[in-house]
Amino acid sequence: MNQQSDRTRIPDQVRLPLSVAFGVVIQGLRIRIGRSVVTITGVTCGIAFLMSILTGQLVKMGVTDEDATRAEVGRVISFVRSDLPKLQDKSISVVGSGTLSEVETRVLETISRDFGIASLSFEQGKSPALPRKASAAVSAAASAPSASVANADVVFLMGGSDIPRQDWKPFLDGDLNRVIASTILEADASTVGIAEERFAKLARVLTEEELAKIEKNKRKERFRAIWIGVISLLVTVIGITNAMLMSVTERFREIGTMKCLGALSSFVTRMFVMEASLMGLVGGIAGAIFGALFAIIIYTFTYGANLVFSSLPMVSVLIFGLLSVAAGVVLSVVAALYPARVAASMVPATALRSTI
Amino acid sequence: MQNLDRKKFDALFEKPAGDEKSVIIRGVDIHKVYKMGKQETHALRGATLDVYRGEYLSIMGPSGSGKSTLFNAIGALQKPTSGRVYIDQVDIAQLDTEELAWLRCRKIGYVFQSYNLIQVMTCLENVTLPMSFAGLSSEEAREKGIKILKMVGLGHRILHKPAELSGGQQQRVAVARALANSPDIILADEPTANLDQHTGQEIIELFQQLQRDLGVTIISATHDTKMLKASDRILWIEDGRIVKCARPEEIDFTSSEFGH
Ligand SMILES: Nc1ncnc2c1ncn2[C@@H]1O[C@H](COP(=O)(O)OP(=O)(O)OP(=O)(O)O)[C@@H](O)[C@H]1O
Ligand SMILES: [Mg+2]
């Protein structure tokens, strides 16, 4: 019992280390596990709502893109089937440069699956040419990639805007039934020096109208996404604020007691912030998982599992998931901060009388 | 009061020659007005008192006379509307929040009239909470908490929640919590009100033991004749003022005032 208090030492003794606050928080969460679960569920619901909306948007956008891609691939393939000489038993060679677009990759896949590809050569020194999906499909079918086009019956030109440098002479001088088909927009018969009737343009130029329509749709989509995002964020904010407000205000009396027993306001605030961020983290992670699963399952019913899973950009889902978890933590802390501040700054005696 | 000469005022604290009693709490002209809308309640109207170090002081007064308000004021839980409170000769109005927290944590142990135990915590957790505020490790706190709970006769109930205990048992938990950080002063608001004769007597003996062995200053509001008899000094509060001061031996406990 120290009779004369050494006042200079007081602040050190009152400012508790973070570990003590953390201990009290963990103990508090464990003790009122039922209440904590209810609050966490509130956060989970909010974040799950947000995440399901975001994932839904991703699915929808992915499905739209996927639909367009599939339509374009279908168009190119049907063109290949109808306008080129029968490809069965023909020696097919693919020459490319740069990176293949998604449509080209799928076309390549389809051709290699249906007819087999004899050789494949891509311009060296360019960016890595084949997406993984296509290279897997092709390497199964193709012989040495360096095989020349000289022996090919049909040559596909694919990839970036550069026309692959190639010695076309042996090909051009050989059998006149041999053709070139190109998905490169900029390439035409004259660039290779082949007769018009032996050159098939698979690429299609979009008309101004089509471009404008796509642009307009995109803008509409973006606006819709932002609008829905804001609304769902608002709903989430309200849900979480409510959960946190309840969890803090019902403990005014307890806070008063703690203050009477020598807890600093800052300690009380810090405790609630820690508690809120913990609950926000747990609720946010659970909510992100539930929300994403919910949206995916729901859209699987409308679009079918195949379309949804092949079009869903997993990286974006993951990023949105992380953002949602962060939102859960931040919103929880912000929502808890105000009532915690109020509670912490109450006069101990007043807080004690609170009957909430 | 505000304009009083500082030196003259400090002189008031100097021990009278030949008297080894020193003042641990001094309240001077304390007023407290509660405002509820337009209505004002004058709970304290100029209470002035000295509490000496190591004494056992009882405060008596009818319900609503301002006992709890006085406790809050001299216990640094609530600022009075006017007047001064000195604890260990320090004007508590001059203390910052950290120093006040230190005071509440280490210097004073409170037994509240309505216990104010934290319902979701066990008895042990209630008792160890102020210890963790004082920076004790959880093992140390646990050990000390069990010891104190045994001392107040609740050794077999340490893991029960307050709601599972009788009023008297809760009161003893409240007393145990007040003792948590070995305070210099114990402020107890009706600590025996809900106790039977026997446990009431035990609390009184506990207080006397603390006072005798550790020099703890005990201030308690009570109507309990046994507690009054055990104390060194009794103050009467009426309508927000201290109206009388006496030693128990000077008082006729058989008078109607004590319900006999
Ligand atoms: N927070 C408050 N707000 C408004 N009025 C209050 C408040 N606290 C106390 N009062 C009033 O102040 C007066 C004194 O109250 P106090 O609680 O100090 O009395 P008490 O002597 O402790 O009574 P009891 O013996 O019943 O506990 C009462 O008239 C009460 O109504
Ligand atoms: Mg009272």
More confident residue, A272 or A161: A272
Name the average pLDDT for chain B.
86
Domain ranges of chain A: 18-66+210-352, 86-176
Lowest mean pLDDT among A69-78, A106-115, A116-125, B63-72: A116-125
Which chain B residues have a beta carbon less than 8 Å from that of A263?
A: 101, 105, 133
Burial of A48: CB neighbours in 10 Å, binned 0-12, 13-18, 19+:
buried
* Distance (Å, whole) CA A161 – CA A159: 7
Mean pLDDT of A189-216: 80
CB–CB contacts below 8 A, A to B = 99
Name the helix (H) or strand (E) containing A183.
none
Tokens of A213: 């329509």
- Under the banding of pLDDT at 50, 70 and 90, the label for residue B242 is very high
- The pLDDT of residue B232: 93
More confident residue, A105 or A119: A105
Lowest mean pLDDT among A142-146, A160-164, B110-114, B216-220: A142-146
Name residue B157's amino acid: R
- Under the banding of pLDDT at 50, 70 and 90, the label for residue A140 is very low
Helices in B189-231 by DSSP H: which ranges?
Answer: 197-214, 225-230
Cβ within 8 Å, pair B177-A16: no
More confident residue, A182 or B49: B49
Distance B35 CA to ligand 1 centre (A): 12
Whether residue B202 has pLDDT greater than 50: yes
Q: DSSP secondary-structure letter at B83?
A: E
CA–CA min distance A266, chain B (Å)? 10
3-state secondary structure at position B13: coil
ipTM of the complex: 0.83
| A290 contacts A44 by C-beta, under 8 angstroms | yes
Cβ within 8 Å, pair B78-A260: no
Mean pLDDT of A325-353: 83
Cα-flanking dihedrals φ and ψ of residue A280, to 5°? Answer: -65, -40
* Distance (Å, whole) CA B12 – CA B7: 9
Residue nearest to atom 11 of ligand 1 (CA): B43
Cβ within 8 Å, pair B104-A348: yes
Mean pLDDT of B214-223: 91
Determine how many CB atoms are found less than 10 A away from the CB of residue A346.
19
Burial of A287: CB neighbours in 10 Å, binned 0-12, 13-18, 19+:
buried
Whether residue A356 has pLDDT greater than 50: no
Whether residue A325 has pLDDT greater than 90: yes
More confident residue, B80 or A251: B80
CA–CA min distance B196, chain A (Å)? 26
Q: What is the pTM of this model?
A: 0.69
User: Which of the residues A2, A6, A14, A25 would you substitute to probe the B interface, choosing the one with the greatest number of B C-beta atoms within 10 Å?
Assistant: A14
More confident residue, A318 or B193: A318
Cα-flanking dihedrals φ and ψ of residue A95, to 5°? Answer: -125, 130
Mean pLDDT of A163-182: 73
- Under the banding of pLDDT at 50, 70 and 90, the label for residue B183 is very high
CA–CA min distance B245, chain A (Å)? 26
Whether residue B120 has pLDDT greater than 90: no
Which chain B residues have a beta carbon less than 8 Å from that of A256?
A: 116
| A196 contacts A189 by C-beta, under 8 angstroms | yes
- The pLDDT of residue A127: 40
- The pLDDT of residue A3: 40
Distance B203 CA to ligand 2 centre (A): 19
Per-residue pLDDT tens digits for A228-257 = 888 878 887 888 788 778 877 778 888 888
Q: Is the alpha carbon torsion for A143, A145, A146, A150 positive or negative?
A: positive
